[in-house]
Structure 1
Amino acid sequence: MSNLSHFDEAGRSRMVDVGDKGETKRVAVAKGEVKVKAKTLDLITAEEIEKGDVLEVARVAGIMGVKKTSDLIPMCHPLLINGVDVKFNIFKEEARIEIIATAKTTGKTGVEMEALTAVSTAGLTIYDMCKAVDKEIEIGEIKLLKKTGGKSGTYLADELTGKVVAICRSQEKGVAKKEISEVELKIDYGLEGDAHAGDWHRQVSLLAQEDIAYMKEQGLELEAGAFGENLITQGLDLQMLAVGAKLKLNSNIVLEVTQKGKECHDRCAIYEAVGDCIMPRRGIFARVVKGGKLKKNDKVEVLIDD
């Protein structure tokens, strides 16, 4: 029987002996979400829930949950916690609150359960604070995003990684973007040689290959860049990103999300053909925080603060 089992040879429950393991710096990041009615979210963000500031109370509850994890989960070891951070991302259109919790320790066992407990406790507290106005609140999608330290090393959830499947650029405004094999991304500018790059908040536009595939299913013959996108990604749900989220490309380039979607002032040819255009709804925009050379099929990773 494995030494990591919570049962001994006789089938009796036990706490795993970690005495011989070495101490390492350990970090775990977990997420969850709370779905509410649109009106409830408005009350939360305006701090008009009668019980008080919902998110601040939930943040404190998440921190307290970390410190109580070993009391709640039978086989968890009591840990000396170095730090806890609980953040909330608001997705107004979806009436959804995303909870991101980070727990840190230096010890012989990890803090995954502590991070997951922080998310769970914060979510339950949001429900408790708001149940008088919304009893249909849903808490879910609780999962580990990242862990570092220990013998098993680093774990990163699949949803945080993808790749760049196309790079597109137009050297003149009003001209369709064309696919290129590689490009230099310049800090606070965008793609070198791109007509839409510059000192503003929409330096780089991104669109998911999965969304483009949907449009192709409508009967459109589309080339890369048809929606005005600079980068086409695959395997990464761009819609899960909040404004302020950071993406790492090719292990050195860093983008910061500055806008999700945009207003469509004129009906483009694509909209006229199929009655829909995905860029205003599904595209995201970013500025270049750290530059470098980008090539097709380079890795994309959502950065999670440690």
Structure 2
Amino acid sequence: MTMPADIGWTESSQAGRVVAVSLSATHTFSKAGTPVIRLLAGLGVEGDAHLGETVKHRSRVAVDPTQPNLRQVHLLSVELQAMLQAAGHAVAPGALGENITTQGIDLLALPTGARLHLGETAVVEITGLRNPCAQIERFQPGLLAQVLGRDDQGKLVRKAGIMGIVLAGGLVRAQDAIRVALPPQPHQKLERV
């Protein structure tokens, strides 16, 4: 499905698949795996605590509950999970709070505004990087250091997944294909949201 706004965009050579989908109706750190999730345009994952047009993360609600929700969907790669497992951490899909666990796409290298076409109809527009906080350290000691790093210039690198908003709704399940559409140049690097 090509959205009208995708005209002038380029199809990325990256192609991937959904490994797992997860949600939680309450503000828990981890999310439970489920066979299918329903993405709702402009809102997020049906039944998830972060569903809504305005922010749902408690720390952000405390600052300004009228902010737009740029964190409707959290995506994390199985490749990151494998790296964390190799470092001795027990992580599985949903454990780090992601709604969609992916394979085959370098999520952190995507530009702001990239669109992930998931399954038959769903489209998620990438808004930025997840900013890992102390909760991840409380979940498993030493994990925060694994998902934060520094680049060659000493700039902080966040590796705990990416966030997005739902442009087009639909069902998403494990094994669904993921197609990436890139916005016109110049691309903007992902920043924390």
AA in 1 matched with 2:97 = G
Match of residue 251, structure 1, among 96, 120, 124: 120
Asked which structure has the greater CA Rg, the reply is 1
Which of 24, 33, 49 matches 1:170?
Answer: 24
- Structure with greater helix percent: 1
* Kept after mapping to 2: 8 A contact 1:256/1:288: yes
Q: What is aligned with 1:285?
A: 163
1:297 aligns with 2:170: no
Indicate which of 180, 185, 191 corresponds to 2:39.
185
CA spacing shift, 1:267–1:302, aligned 2, 3 Å: closer
CA distance in 2, matches of 1:185, 1:259: 18
What secondary structure does 1:185 align onto? strand
SS in 2 for 1:163: strand
TM-score between the two structures when normalised by the length of structure 1 = 0.46
Q: Which has the higher contact order (CA 8 A, sep 6+)?
A: 2
> Given residue 168 of structure 2, which amino acid in structure 1 is its aligned partner?
K
Instruction: For 1:1-306, list aligned pairs within 5 A.
Output: 157=13, 160-174=14-28, 176-199=30-53, 200-266=69-135, 268-274=137-143, 276-278=145-147, 280-304=158-182
Question: Following the alignment from structure 1 to structure 2, what is the Cα–Cα distance between the partners of residues 247 and 187?
Answer: 14
In the alignment, is the contact (CA less than 8 A) between 1:167 and 1:231 conserved in 2?
yes
**What CA distance in whole angstroms lies between the structure 2 residues aligned with 1:255 and 1:195?**
18
- Per-residue CA deviations over 1:108-145 (Å, capped at 9, x if unaligned) read xxxxxxxxxxxxxxxxxxxxxxxxxxxxxxxxxxxxx7
Counterparts in 2 of 1:221 and 1:266: CA distance versus 1, 3 Å: closer
- Tell me the secondary structure at the aligned position of residue 101 of structure 2: strand
The one-letter code sitting in structure 2 at the alignment partner of 1:196 is: H
Q: Secondary structure at the match of 1:244?
A: coil
Q: In structure 1, how many angstroms separate the alpha carbons of the residues matched to 2:136 and 2:179?
A: 33
Report the identity percentage: 31
Q: Which residue of 2 aligns with 1:63?
A: none
Using the TM superposition, give the Cα deviation of residue 260 of structure 1 relative to its aligned residue in structure 2, in angstroms.
1.6
Q: Distance in 2 between matches of 1:207 and 1:213?
A: 11
Letter of the aligned partner of 1:223 in structure 2?
A
Partner secondary structure for residue 212 of structure 1 = helix
Q: 2:127·2:163 contact (CA, 8 Å) conserved in 1?
A: yes
Aligned 8 A contact 1:261 1:285 in 2: yes
Question: Which structure 1 segments of 5+ residues have no match?
Answer: 1-84, 86-101, 103-144, 147-155
CA separation in 2, counterparts of 1:269 and 1:229?
A: 17
Give the deviation of 1:271 after TM superposition: 4.8
Secondary structure of 1:269's counterpart equals: helix
Deviation of residue 303 (structure 1)? 1.4
Q: Which runs of 5+ in 2 are unaligned?
A: 1-7, 54-68, 149-157, 185-193
> 4+ residue runs of structure 1 moved beyond 6 angstroms?
none
Report how many aligned residue pairs link the two structures: 153
Residues 1:286 and 1:206: Cα distance change in structure 2 (over 3 Å): same
Once residues 162 and 294 of structure 1 are traced to their aligned partners in structure 2, the CA distance between those partners, rounded to angstroms, is 13
For residues 275 and 261 of structure 1, what CA distance do their matches in structure 2 show?
12
The Cα of 1:221 is off from its aligned counterpart by 2.1
Give the Å deviation of 1:268: 2.4
State the secondary structure of the residue aligned to 1:303. strand
Deviations 1:91-123 (A, max 9, x none): xxxxxxxxxxx8xxxxxxxxxxxxxxxxxxxxx
RMSD of aligned alpha carbons: 2.4
Match of 1:50 in 2: none
